[in-house]
Structure 1
Amino acid sequence: MGGGDRSGTLIGRAAELAALTGALDRAAAGAAGVVLVSGDAGVGKSHLVGALTRIARDRGCTVLAGQCAELGESMPYLPLADALWTGSADPALRAALDDRPVLRRLLPDGGGDGVPAGDLGQQRLFGAVLGLLGELGRDRPVLLVLEDLHWADRSTRHLLTFLSRVLQRERVCLVGTYRSDDLHRRHPLRPVVAELLRLPEVGAVELGPFGHGETAEYLASLGGDGAPPTAEEINRVHRRSEGNPFYAAELYTAARTDEELPAGLADLLLARVERLSENAARVVRAASVAGHRVDDEPVRQVCGLDEAAAGEALREIVSHRLLIPDGAQGYTFRHALLREAVYADLLPGERTRLHAAYADLLKRAPAVPGRVAAELAHHSLAAHDLPAAFAASVQAGREAERMGAPDEAHEHYDRALSLWDAVPGPEEAAGTGRVQLELAAVRSSGRSGEPRRAISRLRRLLEEADPADVRMGVLLREHLAYYLDDVKQHDESMAVSREAIAMLPADPPTAERASALATYVRTMLFEEVDPSLRAVAEEAVAAARAAGAADAEASALVSLGIYRETREPDPEVGALFARARDLAVGAGNYQVGQRAAFHLARSIFDRGDLPAAVRAADDGVAFSLANGLGWSPYGSTLRCLQFLIHYTSGDWEEAGRLAADFPMQVVRPAEAQVSSYALFLEVARGEDITERFRWLEPVWPEDDFIAYVARGLAAEHALWQGDTAAALDHATAAQAVLPAQDVAAVRVIATALWAHADRAVQARASGDNGTAASAVEAADNLLERARATVATTPDGRTRAWLGLEGHAWLARAEAEHARAHGANDPALWRKTLEAFSYGFTYELARTRWRLAESLAAQGSREEALNEWRTAAQEAESLGAAPLVRALTDLGARARLTAQQPEPAAGGLTAREREVLKLVAEGRNNKEIAAALFISPKTASVHVSNILAKLDVTSRTQAAAKAHADGLLTG
């Protein structure tokens, strides 16, 4: 009730409501946002959000509102399910849910698609939620409210974090409420809130207590037709309530009825319950055990009242505003504090009997996917019915797995295992043995991103395992090896895999041994290539095929394909990856399927067939998105590869469209990997990378690859700014995080050689022979490392997996090395040009820039002019502003610009003049984009090109020069 009167009018919350409606307005305009509303219990969070939902409905928005319950971690996605169920009367929402079985199964009548959640179930559900909100938002803005997040289950917290990071251009406003006074130091929501509030799209609204005047206005609104509150009453209530609206309302109501005021809030709340009739009090007590929401019939049956008596009791309770109608046959407590007070006041025996009654009711109720098992486990445990709690926990774990909630699945399985020895006939009740249930808990740990917890359980299981059960021993070791590999303990993983393989003979074939072989091969790939890998991989394939283990066969085929690429170019390896993909998908193992799809597209890309690579990557990403797996590990990697192929082929418009969906504000490696790839385009276009870099930097210690990508591109950015010292710092750091002789180092070595060559050229020009000599020595060392990196197979041959791009970077490294020595050789740049000629548009233009420079230095002006013109046209077409500036500088220095064809007025294209006019009007990139029906990134590229062409460094200078030169007329 806190925060307003009974008619819904808000008191003292104008600024807070304005903040929320502002977020709703921005969402309606296409800028998704999240607002976290916090405050003490009873301060008026729900009332404030209720006012917002009324405004949203009046504006024609879709409103989805759900509430968490104080049931611990046992009911995954409860507020989401609540929001979908209460909103499912909307035909548009129901149609959208029908298209998404993974969400429909959350509803009481949802059923399911019959597909187990598997390793990627949570990602599928998250992707489906994002798709649902995006689809609904295309028709009208969406307000999603999740209340009482302090009671949120772990999966809901993960969902909140996911949506807060990825919602960007969807017309969605997400509002969450939580009790700030409940967030003790170890509360699980506390780090989530701290993390989310770092994101610019996440706002915070904190509700404080009323001031004295607001308390007076609030109490006056409660008076109805009676006498207004006196100054003495206001002062006393404000002092006692400390400005908490709910406390104030209770204190004021008690004072007006001349009742003796209890000493504590619980007594204050319970005093109103004590005024009820016996039947009404029975109903309230039973409702407190049910949870945050109660329905007519269950409460009636638990109370043992007939329909007429229960109806009369409920009317009395509602008239006293202890329960508030919610839906056709449901009720909620006026405030959660009231439910807590009533529940805490129950006698131990009474509480046990009521929980037992609800449990008995649930046992007799029709099976409803998702909720019944979790609720039954909760009530049975509270009723001390351990056999029922055990069986329900096992079922709840299986339901949570099916729903893609591995955290909750592990909790249920863990509880069941803790009860195993305390119940009779546990195997019959669970429908499985203890070890199998332990393995289910292991799977849930791994799927929830906690492989170390899975490792600990597997080690304990191995200690307790029956040595005579060889196949179980192999299975446990294979699982252990798999998770050890996940946490980079490769040596132990290989040792455990070998032990598992040795425990079973090759004949007869078994799925357990085949899986152990596949895991062993997967781990071997992380070490220096072992000549025996091929034989082991082929054995794994044969064993899996003979045992009918399709997913193990697919995994081994992918590893075999990767190995074959290390030996020699193999055009047939693509067919191998495609076959592995089809096998894995057919077996329902989408994780292996995505791994195969990635290597299929990557292998085609490495061979330089860019059109086919585009198709393969697009297909892989489409498969991931269609199954809600766009943010799974290989889903993210496929998106990075898709972007990189479009970037390489020169389709920067499509690459920019893809990068627009890459999050800027990231915290964890999964999002940071995708974000780091956007730097390829931003650096090449000359955009400001400060903000993205600021978010990526904290993630470097957690992921070496992200550090390599980000710092390697930061080195290029620094070189375009003329800062060789910063470039070398970044390039050195990028090399340092790579394993010894990693072929990925070739690109960053080439970048470092660019920096040393620039240093050497500048030093020689200024007569600084010492610096020039130092740069040359460093260049020599770098080139030696580059050459060694690509020739480090056991027999000293060049690695076949280097790919065409890798060989092209090695050619550039050779050319930059020669430039550092003062021998800027056109032949080496022509060799580099040929190496990139498979279609890397941007690198072709960059290479022509250096080739033109070397030709001009040798006096070959006509050839230099041809290369310069081609490079300028390509750079201009791409919108590569730093390269355009470099070419302009070269043209001026080499006197090539005088022979240029006369460009449009001021050197600007017609579109650039349109953009310049808007710049002169003071418009920002977003406003320019809206006016010209282009994307903000395209507007940014145009502005960068304009600054380069006008030889100015700011938008203000560009506007001034445009006015002075008459570029805004016509």
Structure 2
Amino acid sequence: MDERSNSFGYWLRRRRKALDLTQDALAQKVSCSQAAIKKIEAEERRPSRGLAQRLAEQLAIPAQERAAFLQAARALRTSDRLPLDESPIEALTAAAASDGLAFAGEQKSPFVGRTNEYGQFLGLIARLTAGSGQVVLIEGEAGIGKSRLMHEVARYARQRSLPTLVTSCYEIERAIAYQPVIDLATQACEATSETRLRRIAPIFLAEIAALVPVMAARLVERVPLSADFPEARQARLFHALGQLLDALAQDRQLIVMIDDIQWADDASLQFLHFLARQMAGRPLLLACAYRDEELDDNERLASLVERLRREPHTRHMALTRFGPGDTEMLIERLNDPKLSAPDLAVRLHRETDGNPFFLWSIMHSLSEGDCAVRDAGSLPLPDALRDSVRRRLARVPHEDRPLLDLAAVLGRRFDFETLLALTREPEERFLHAIESLVKRRLLREDQEGGFYDFSHEKVREVVYRDIGIARRVLLHRAVAEMLEQHPTSKTHELDARLAEHYERANVWPKALRYLGLAADHSQKLFAMRESLHWFDRAVALLQAHPEAATQAQQLALYERRGVARAQAGQTEGAVADFQQAIDAARALGEHEQARDVLIQLGMAYRRADAYEQAIVCLDEALKVSLAMGDERHAADTLYHLGTVAWSNGRNDLAISYHQQAVDICERLALTDLVAVQAFHGRGEAYFANAEPAAAIASFSRSLDLARGIGDKSYESENLMMIGWACTGHMGLADYQRALSHFDAALAIARAADLQWHLGPTLIGRAHVQMALGKFGAAWADLNEALPRLETLRLVRYQIMAHDALGCLFLDLNRPEQALPHYERGLHVALDAGITYWRPRLQANLAIAQLRLDIPCDRAALQAAHQYAQDHSEAWLTLRCLEALAELALANGDVDGCITHADQLLALATRGDMRALVGQAHRLRGLAWLAVNAFESAQHELTLAVTLAEQTGRGRLAWECHGALARVAAGLGDGAGKNNSEARARTIAEQIVKDLGGSGLTSNLTSAP
């Protein structure tokens, strides 16, 4: 039996035939080209790990034999003899090709001139064992050898069985969202075991599956992804991809290499920045290469490089051109008789100035023998890179050039079958042409995937630009039609490619359609810059060729771009698009469509905190719905109006709007999302009006409805709001109930990674922990919440976080640390032009100033109080009354203090807000104490401390015990004084104990 009968390819062919499968049928089953199967069976190629696994599945290899099958599939061939007539350069090319790495670039020459940089990489890989990551930024001009250096490092890592992911970015794909990230994630999914993948949270697996088809195919069941802000969804995706990389690494060193990031899309650059910041505790080496000449014109790249270089674990590696010695070494290593002239190294270095790609291109031309080295004028001098490349192209046989042109139109990577279908040439003729182009190193064959690529992007660019315009249009049209009929790419990538080809083919209607689809796909992936890129191209095309779309299609395009612009925070552009869509809808008599766009316009204004404009739009939409008798849409619009009013501190309007929405829902017996929102909105209005029990009833109704329709987002939000209504500073002071609801809300939000909900829920839970004296836990929650909110640009919740941090320091008797947070919160609110939470911040600022003996702005405090009263913001009125009472007391105005304390007591009693009732009694007690009315003071303070202890409000109890000690001293009750001081001291000591390890300090003493 000969050697081939024992080979993997021979065995594969027999197994395929035993199952009555043709090569084409097997190729389709395992998602590769027929040519790839041919080459595997002919022992000309080894399958990739992923392809080998798919072959094992489709060929029904028994489980007990699968490991042996995969090992045989990936084993190196026993013989790699080269043809005797190959030149030294050809031999080096074939040997280098056997490693199967897929970097663009002329990487088949000997590896010289980068010893220092290569050694640095090996040192960094060794240091990864310490558990901390490294980022390497490789910078240099085109052709300097960035790709080759990464190629060699990746080969080193793979030879040591380290998980290694490599990809490149391509200029033609720079607007396809997440293209390099998808490449990396696909490789990671294929290389990660099922067991390791199942350890990733289901919501994260679902996010990865939405991006990576390979993952989608492996998930039998997928949890639904909740609607959320694009920033929140993107953050969840980034965390999911981080977990995927961890699952692949399995605590080993992981190498990730990305070439040509100057052509990466914005979303991918954002992910790179996220990953780089997360690497401190991961054994991960991230290497990114880019062209330095792009930094001046590519603002996104320059920004990323600047931010990455600020990271302590980032190394910057600027590659320089070869020196004369490197050029001489390159010639020596090639050992080609045609390159043996004694002065050739000097001449080559002088003419190329040491650019490795120029060197290699010229040396390749000389090796082919078309010009003599002895002739000084015969060197293909690269005054421009194009001149050098064109000399190589001129030697391509005339009959092979059409195939090269077609490959250049296809773009970067293309497979055998696609190219064959487009050429319509006989298979043998086609094979001869493509093998010739590979041999000439104009095309490069991917040994593992059955794909082809140009040896260098500049080669493709020169070929493409030299195609005549008319021929180029026809080629793009042929490519587009073939891809449309026989798709070979993932949906989002295919739409982008079809958009490119049809636009360059001057087929305007189809170009417009696919531009819109590419934009939609990017939007679903939260890549808003890329989405707007496609939308902008579609609108530009429409303006140049209005006949390409009907009026209805034009209306829809502007509306869709308006939504994308609003999500991206481009309010001015969104308004312009929505207004154009509204005008077009009205012109067509599409009143429902105009109404729907009006709602979108109103919500765009709300997102930008432009509340007055939002109300104008929503009011008009409401009138249209009522005029049409469309009560369901009327209820929906009323909810939005109420939310806008509530967000802007106009709770009086919010109460009215939300009640009307609830009335409609109850009359129509609605149980859908409109009803969920209506009851939730009414709960918020009650809550803001200091009616926590009524608020809880509405939130509970909304919670039941949300669970009925499976809406996790509103389930979490309703639980959160019930928690807020049970807090002490704004609700019933039922802290255990509040804590259980916050914990339940957080569990849902973390499981579904609802970024929008995490911030306010953590802030609410922090308030509960502060009330219970758990300041360390509160500090941890707030330090998690604020960075999230700043990342997501959620201004209103940033204000709440700064307020909560101020309250934490105020409760620890650190008003000097509280003051900057209140000032920062007010500054953020004023900058955003919103009144949300501002009265409370103004009140807290005054309290902090009073405790620091700093004069406070009485007029500003009174104005805040008046605003809260006028707009039914009773929750904010309560805090303003506390501040006014403390201000009066500080100024010696006992009657004023009692008056404000009485108002506080009445309002808090109405809502059964026991902690605030206790605070009112404390203020009354302090007022009586100030005029030595000791018995009245004792009565009030005893009521206050009883309520504080019943609710578990430690800080309030501490204040009351301190005041009672002073009352006892005034009454001559030494034992009572000592007892009160002891109880205050116990509370203070417990708080200090709880702060251990948090980095916080308390200034609480036994005598407040």
**Where on the TM-score scale, by shorter chain, does this alignment land: which range?**
0.7 to 0.9
**Structure 1 pair 336/20, CA: closer, same or farther in 2 (3 Å)?**
farther
What is the alpha-carbon distance in structure 2 between the residues aligned to residue 80 and residue 234 of structure 1?
Answer: 41
Aligned twin of 2:996: 879
Aligned twin of 2:754: 629
What is the alpha-carbon distance in structure 2 between the residues aligned to residue 732 and residue 781 of structure 1?
Answer: 26
Which residues of 2 match residues 394-409 of structure 1 at below 5 A? 394-409=516-531
Which letter does structure 2 place at the counterpart of 1:626?
A
What is the alpha-carbon distance in structure 2 between the residues aligned to residue 7 and residue 853 of structure 1?
Answer: 88
**Structure 1 pair 462/416, CA: closer, same or farther in 2 (3 Å)?**
same
Q: Does 1:203 align with 2:314?
A: yes
Which letter does structure 2 place at the counterpart of 1:300?
L
Instruction: Give aligned-pair identity as a percent.
Output: 19
What is the alpha-carbon distance in structure 2 between the residues aligned to residue 395 and residue 232 of structure 1?
Answer: 58
Aligned twin of 1:104: 209
**Structure 1 pair 588/245, CA: closer, same or farther in 2 (3 Å)?**
farther
Q: 2:597 aligns with which of 437, 459, 476?
A: 476
1:589 shift after superposition: 6.7
Aligned twin of 1:137: 246
Aligned twin of 1:339: 460
1:267 shift after superposition: 1.4
Aligned twin of 1:751: 848
Tell me the SS of whatever aligns to 2:190.
coil
**Structure 1 pair 433/18, CA: closer, same or farther in 2 (3 Å)?**
same
Aligned twin of 1:244: 355
Which residues of 2 match residues 730-809 of structure 1 at below 5 A? 734=825, 739=835, 742-756=839-853, 779-780=890-891, 797=907
What is the alpha-carbon distance in structure 2 between the residues aligned to residue 278 and residue 536 of structure 1?
Answer: 76
Unaligned runs of 5+ in 2: 1-102, 830-834, 857-885
What is the alpha-carbon distance in structure 1 between the residues aligned to residue 894 and residue 169 of structure 2?
Answer: 60
What is the alpha-carbon distance in structure 2 between the residues aligned to residue 528 and residue 570 of structure 1?
Answer: 18
Q: Does 1:573 align with 2:682?
A: no
Q: Does 1:502 align with 2:613?
A: no
Alpha carbons 1:669, 1:706 under 8 Å: kept: no
Q: 2:272 aligns with which of 160, 164, 173?
A: 160
**Structure 1 pair 10/612, CA: closer, same or farther in 2 (3 Å)?**
farther
What is the alpha-carbon distance in structure 2 between the residues aligned to residue 641 and residue 40 of structure 1?
Answer: 53
String of CA shifts for 1:794-823, please: whole Å, max 9, x gaps.
x99569899667777888889999999999
Tell me the SS of whatever aligns to 1:756.
coil
**Structure 1 pair 647/466, CA: closer, same or farther in 2 (3 Å)?**
same
Q: Does 1:445 align with 2:565?
A: yes
Report the more deviating stretch, 97-106 or 832-841.
Answer: 832-841
Which letter does structure 1 place at the counterpart of 2:318?
L
Which letter does structure 1 place at the counterpart of 2:840?
V
Aligned twin of 1:185: 297
Aligned twin of 2:581: 461
What is the alpha-carbon distance in structure 2 between the residues aligned to residue 742 and residue 147 of structure 1?
Answer: 52
**Structure 1 pair 412/730, CA: closer, same or farther in 2 (3 Å)?**
closer
What is the alpha-carbon distance in structure 2 between the residues aligned to residue 547 and residue 426 of structure 1?
Answer: 41
Aligned twin of 2:170: 69
Tell me the SS of whatever aligns to 2:114.
coil
What is the alpha-carbon distance in structure 1 between the residues aligned to residue 892 and residue 577 of structure 2?
Answer: 48
String of CA shifts for 1:560-594, please: whole Å, max 9, x gaps.
11111233433353343244356457668766555
Q: 2:398 aligns with which of 266, 269, 278?
A: 278
Report the more deviating stretch, 797-806 or 500-509.
Answer: 797-806
Q: Does 1:79 align with 2:180?
A: yes
1:871 shift after superposition: 2.5
RMSD: 4.9
Which letter does structure 2 place at the counterpart of 1:636?
G
Alpha carbons 1:38, 1:207 under 8 Å: kept: yes
String of CA shifts for 1:863-885, please: whole Å, max 9, x gaps.
42343244224422431788877
Tell me the SS of whatever aligns to 2:839.
coil
What is the alpha-carbon distance in structure 2 between the residues aligned to residue 714 and residue 230 of structure 1?
Answer: 79
**Structure 1 pair 303/453, CA: closer, same or farther in 2 (3 Å)?**
same
Tell me the SS of whatever aligns to 1:43.
coil
**Structure 1 pair 309/557, CA: closer, same or farther in 2 (3 Å)?**
same
What is the alpha-carbon distance in structure 2 between the residues aligned to residue 626 and residue 195 of structure 1?
Answer: 31
What is the alpha-carbon distance in structure 2 between the residues aligned to residue 60 and residue 819 of structure 1?
Answer: 77
Q: 2:124 aligns with which of 13, 18, 22?
A: 22
Alpha carbons 1:32, 1:201 under 8 Å: kept: no
Report the more deviating stretch, 828-837 or 354-363.
Answer: 828-837
Q: 1:535 aligns with which of 644, 648, 656?
A: 656
Which letter does structure 2 place at the counterpart of 1:261?
P
1:486 shift after superposition: 1.6
Please, what TM-score do these two structures have when normalized by structure 2?
A: 0.71
What is the alpha-carbon distance in structure 2 between the residues aligned to residue 472 and residue 330 of structure 1?
Answer: 47
Tell me the SS of whatever aligns to 1:371.
helix
What is the alpha-carbon distance in structure 2 between the residues aligned to residue 813 and residue 146 of structure 1?
Answer: 64
Q: 1:312 aligns with which of 420, 432, 443?
A: 432
Tell me the SS of whatever aligns to 1:534.
helix
What is the alpha-carbon distance in structure 2 between the residues aligned to residue 823 and residue 12 of structure 1?
Answer: 87
Please, what TM-score do these two structures have when normalized by structure 1?
A: 0.73
Q: Does 1:560 align with 2:677?
A: no
Report the more deviating stretch, 855-864 or 71-80.
Answer: 855-864
Which letter does structure 2 place at the counterpart of 1:552?
V
Which letter does structure 1 place at the counterpart of 2:380?
L
1:72 shift after superposition: 5.3
1:184 shift after superposition: 3.3
Tell me the SS of whatever aligns to 1:328.
coil
Aligned twin of 1:295: 415
1:18 shift after superposition: 2.8
Tell me the SS of whatever aligns to 1:140.
coil
**Structure 1 pair 202/360, CA: closer, same or farther in 2 (3 Å)?**
farther
Tell me the SS of whatever aligns to 1:502.
helix
Unaligned runs of 5+ in 1: 674-698, 760-774, 895-970
1:377 shift after superposition: 1.0
String of CA shifts for 1:342-372, please: whole Å, max 9, x gaps.
2222221232222222112111114742221
**Structure 1 pair 132/114, CA: closer, same or farther in 2 (3 Å)?**
closer
What is the alpha-carbon distance in structure 1 between the residues aligned to residue 804 and residue 767 of structure 2?
Answer: 12
Q: 2:761 aligns with which of 638, 656, 660?
A: 638
Aligned twin of 1:618: 743
Alpha carbons 2:328, 2:345 under 8 Å: kept: no
String of CA shifts for 1:446-478, please: whole Å, max 9, x gaps.
333434322221122333442644323322222
What is the alpha-carbon distance in structure 2 between the residues aligned to residue 407 and residue 525 of structure 1?
Answer: 31
What is the alpha-carbon distance in structure 1 between the residues aligned to residue 431 and residue 930 of structure 2?
Answer: 91
Aligned twin of 1:956: none
1:375 shift after superposition: 0.9
Alpha carbons 2:888, 2:897 under 8 Å: kept: no
String of CA shifts for 1:630-682, please: whole Å, max 9, x gaps.
3xx33433344455555655567766776786797x9x823687xxxxxxxxx
**Structure 1 pair 271/115, CA: closer, same or farther in 2 (3 Å)?**
farther
Aligned twin of 1:387: 509
What is the alpha-carbon distance in structure 2 between the residues aligned to residue 38 and residue 801 of structure 1?
Answer: 65
Report the more deviating stretch, 599-608 or 587-596.
Answer: 587-596
What is the alpha-carbon distance in structure 2 between the residues aligned to residue 120 and residue 465 of structure 1?
Answer: 27
The structure having more radius of gyration, on CA atoms, is 2
Aligned twin of 2:263: 151
What is the alpha-carbon distance in structure 2 between the residues aligned to residue 8 and residue 361 of structure 1?
Answer: 40
**Structure 1 pair 751/216, CA: closer, same or farther in 2 (3 Å)?**
same
**Structure 1 pair 481/439, CA: closer, same or farther in 2 (3 Å)?**
same
Which letter does structure 1 place at the counterpart of 2:124?
G
Number of residue pairs the alignment of both structures matches: 836
1:501 shift after superposition: 1.5
Which residues of 2 match residues 503-522 of structure 1 at below 5 A? 503-505=624-626, 508-522=629-643
1:161 shift after superposition: 3.9
Q: Does 1:361 align with 2:482?
A: yes
Alpha carbons 1:747, 1:810 under 8 Å: kept: no
String of CA shifts for 1:700-738, please: whole Å, max 9, x gaps.
9x9655665667778899x75xx95x8756655655666
Aligned twin of 2:869: none
Which residues of 2 match residues 553-952 of structure 1 at below 5 A? 553-581=675-703, 583=705, 595-605=717-727, 606-630=731-755, 633-642=756-765, 645=768, 649=772, 669-670=790-791, 708=803, 734=825, 739=835, 742-756=839-853, 779-780=890-891, 797=907, 837=949, 843=955, 847=959, 860-879=977-996, 886=1003
**Structure 1 pair 232/295, CA: closer, same or farther in 2 (3 Å)?**
same
